[in-house]
Amino acid sequence: MYSNVCTGALQGIYAYLVQTEVDAAGGLPGLEMVGCPAGEVREARERVKVALKNAGVDLPPLKITVNLSPADVRKDGTGFDLPIAVGILCALERLPQRVTENTLFLGELGLDGEIRPVKGVLPIVREAAARGIKRCIVPAANAKEGGVVQGIEVIGAENLPLLLEYLQANKERQKELIPPTIVSPEELLGDANISKEYDFANIVGQEFVKRGAQVAAAGFHNMLIVGPPGTGKTMVGKSIAGILPPMTLKESLEVSGIYSVRGMLDENQTLITERPVIQPHHTVSAQALAGGGRIPKPGLVSLAHRGVLFLDEFPEFPRTILDILRQPLEEKQVVVSRAYGSYRFPADFMLVAAMNPCPCGHYPDLNKCTCTESEVHRYLGHVSGPILDRIDICVEAPEVNIHALSSSGRGISSEEMRERVKLARSLQERRFQGTAYHFNSQILAGDMQKYCAIGLQEEQMLEKLLSRGGFSVRAYHRILKVARTVADLDGSEKIEQKHLSEAVCYRLADEKYWKRGKGA
């Protein structure tokens, strides 16, 4: 007998449907698997046979052939165990074929018949819903994760005997045995709590840095903070996520899909509802940062998608590691190529970096700095020019006056800043409606004149800056985009000279340190 059971698999972070074809016929007894299975998929033969035996199903001495279609795509993971088991039971007529109609099966089997959780349930269920599948049967531990997808029934099964009883029961009995998992993603998003651990109200002084952070959050601009130790750089970097607008449902599902592929979702967190903040250590490897591996998986830059990638002690990262960021900062994705294909991982994040101006942290204050000019030059040289050109806002965090520390007054809070950011984002939404843009930072060079037009006086100001050789053409465009965001925070449709002047100020720290460092 022949049977066909639908399941799903992953290629990078994207899912595709797989047809599990099973044929049971006379011949030399055994279980043969074809269809380009990886090692862990081939091992399903033993897991499935023992799990069926312990569930009370003895396989007859037949030749059982399992084909995973499409056969020209490599299959990885352990989620094929359950569809193979169900396919065998249908081929042996222990289950009617109708129980698999419009149903996707996914799950790993333990030797005792337990249905264990697998990675990537969310994107697979989303793909199934998009392809018209009506029901997904997944491990009970993954049920809530799949349940956030609307328009499809998700059933969470704990073990094989219970699932077999469920499949043979009528609809009323099925609802009693395993009720469908219903999750409201809107409620999960509404219950999201914004972390109060890091609040801008707790940062004393540094008003210019806080203003720069607000502008960066409003336009989703990359930001670099330079200053001596103990000036609140790390605090600012960790607080920025708290002033970003709440995630939309589309963004939440995008980010949650990435975390699902990495196996980072569980029963307690079925949906990522807060913007992620990823802070890798400076010893991170290139593969961990960008993604990859034998079976390519998304890296830290993809885990920061729609959120913040915070790199503290920026120059301590090897230059080769920092240069990896050039592609995702420009293209908002990472491409990992292997002999059997290329994988694209989304990486639309906001880069926030913090650093000391020199190894001792006090340059250019020569009264305190103990570094030689060559040490300063070498330290600053870890951050390449192309990386600096991709950072829109560069601000300096000076040492805080002792009188400011003793002041009892609190500065502007994250909640107040977030409301201003929301207002600026609403202006951008209206401006970019019907386009591929969402934030000012995304404006391409060809659309600068359309969205960032400036007057004669402002144009003359920028011409003087360019004539000094202080800025590249990319930096010139980034100044205009930041000025557009400053104008949005001011509620102005026109970029005025004061907005442009503020945007230029966010490049002065870059010129101060790197131009002087290069001349050292």
Q: Each residue of 60-70: pLDDT tens digit?
A: 999 999 999 99
Q: What is the mean pLDDT of residues 497-506?
A: 89
Q: Please give the Cα distance from 518 to 243 (Å, whole number).
A: 35
Which pLDDT value is given to residue 123?
96
CATH of the domain at 232: 3.40.50.300
E strands, 281-338, where?
Answer: 291-292, 297-298, 308-311, 333-338
pLDDT (average), residues 11-35? 92
Tell me, yes or no, whether 190 lies in a domain: no
d(CA 351, CA 271): 23
pLDDT of residue 198: 83
Q: What is the pLDDT, as a whole number, of residue 385?
A: 85
pLDDT at 157: 96
pLDDT of residue 5: 96
Indicate if the pLDDT at residue 138 is higher than 90: yes
Tell me: do 265 and 169 sit in the same domain: no
Q: Are residues 282 and 335 in the same domain?
A: yes
The predicted structure's pLDDT at residue 259: 95
107 and 21, same structural domain? yes
Whole-number pLDDT of residue 412: 84
Mean pLDDT of the region 328-357: 90
pLDDT at 234: 92
* Shared domain check, 382 and 235: yes
Please state the φ and ψ torsions of residue 443, each to the nearest 5 degrees: -60, 130
- Same domain for 116 and 48, yes or no, is yes
Burial class (CB in 10 A: 0-12, 13-18, 19+), 354: buried
Among candidate residues 137, 153, 183, the one where a domain is terminated: 183
CA dist., res. 138 & res. 115, Å (int): 8
Which pair of tokens denotes residue 319?
A: 């230059």
Q: Is the pLDDT of residue 223 over 80?
A: yes
Residue 145: phi, psi to the nearest 5?
-60, -45
Exposed, middle or buried: residue 400 (CB in 10 Å: 0-12, 13-18, 19+)?
middle
376 with 280, same domain: the answer is yes
pLDDT band at residue 517 under the 50/70/90 scheme: very low
Q: Identify which has the larger pLDDT, 367 or 79.
A: 79
pLDDT for 384 equals 87
286: nearest Cα among 332, 336, 331: 336
Between residues 363 and 65, which one has the greater pLDDT? 65
Q: Are residues 395 and 262 in the same domain?
A: yes
Give the integer Cα–Cα distance in Å for 84 and 193: 41
Instruction: Tell me which residue of 517, 288, 496 sits closest to 388, measured CA to CA.
Output: 517
Domain count, the chain: 2
Is residue 193 a part of any domain in this protein? Answer: no
Q: Which residue has the higher pLDDT, 221 or 294?
A: 221
- Hey, which residues does 278 pair with through a beta bridge? 309
Question: For the residues 205-229, what does the mean pLDDT come to?
Answer: 94
Residues 55 and 121 in one domain: yes
Residue 419: inside a domain: yes
Average pLDDT over every residue of 11-20: 94
Q: What is the pLDDT of residue 358?
A: 92
Residue 1's pLDDT band (cuts 50, 70, 90): confident
Q: Residue 281: inside a domain, yes or no?
A: yes
Q: Please identify, among 126, 154, 183, the residue that sits at the C-terminal boundary of a domain.
A: 183
pTM of the model: 0.90
Q: Does any domain span residue 189?
A: no
Range of the domain at 389: 200-519
pLDDT at 469 over 60: no
Q: Which of 157, 183, 209 is the last residue of a domain?
A: 183
CA atoms 304, 307, 312, 316: torsion sign: positive
Cα(5)–Cα(18) distance, integer angstroms: 8
Average pLDDT over residues 231-258: 92
pLDDT surpassing 50 at residue 518 = no
Residues 149 and 294 in one domain: no
What per-residue confidence (pLDDT) applies to 389?
85
Query: The domain that contains 65 carries what CATH number?
Result: 3.30.230.10
Give the pLDDT band (50/70/90) at residue 311. Answer: very high
389-428 pLDDT, tens digit each: 889 999 999 887 666 555 555 678 899 999 999 999 999 9
Q: Are residues 178 and 207 in the same domain?
A: no
Mean residue pLDDT of the chain comes to 90
Residue 400 lies in a domain: yes
| Same domain (yes/no): 223, 177 | no
Tell me the range of 31-35, 301-305, 411-415 where mean pLDDT is highest.
Answer: 301-305
| Mean pLDDT value of segment 469-490 | 85
* pLDDT > 90 fraction of the chain, expressed in percent and rounded: 67
Strands 103-105 and 135-139, by their bridges, are parallel
Cβ contacts of 227 within 8 Å, gap of 6 or more: 209, 233, 356, 357, 396, 397, 398, 399
Q: In this model, does residue 76 exceed pLDDT 50?
A: yes
Please tell me whether residues 421 and 515 are part of one structural domain: yes
Question: Among 160-169, 352-361, 397-406, whose mean pLDDT is lowest?
Answer: 397-406
Compare 519 and 336 and report the one with higher pLDDT. Answer: 336
Closest CA to 118 of 134, 136, 132: 136
If pLDDT is split at 50, 70 and 90, which confidence band does 193 have? low
Least confident of 17-26, 249-258, 454-463: 454-463
